[in-house]
Amino acid sequence: SMGQNILLWKVKNGVCPEAVDSLVITVKEFTVPSLLTPNMDGKNDYFKVMGLETLGKTELVIFDRRGARVYQNNDYKNDWNGVDHKGNFLPEDTYFYILKSESGKNLNGFVVLRK
């Protein structure tokens, strides 16, 4: 998860004294998928941005390679599955995204859509 994560563990084998320790892992970057395969097999079906919840309200805009806007959601919740603004599945291709958050953090890049 984004932010500070604490990993705790305990080792007990019955012979040696119990050992306990912890490790703090801080995740600062977002993970944005570069491949979307919306065939509903449970893998890469949605454009799921790890860490999106830390941005607050976020807008997602998807463009095709000609620069035409094909999808927009003003309050994105990791639920885009390769459809256009009418709900029709887009053809396999490379698409470009812009994520704009109310916190001021913006992300952009591309995602490849395969079925």
**pLDDT tens, residue by residue, 40-67:** 999 999 999 988 888 889 999 999 999 9
Q: Which of 73, 98, 101 is nearest to 110 (CA)?
A: 98
Q: Answer whether 115's CB lies under 8 Å from 38's CB.
A: yes
Give this prediction's pTM: 0.74
Q: What is the largest CA-CA distance in the chain?
A: 67
pLDDT of residue 1: 64
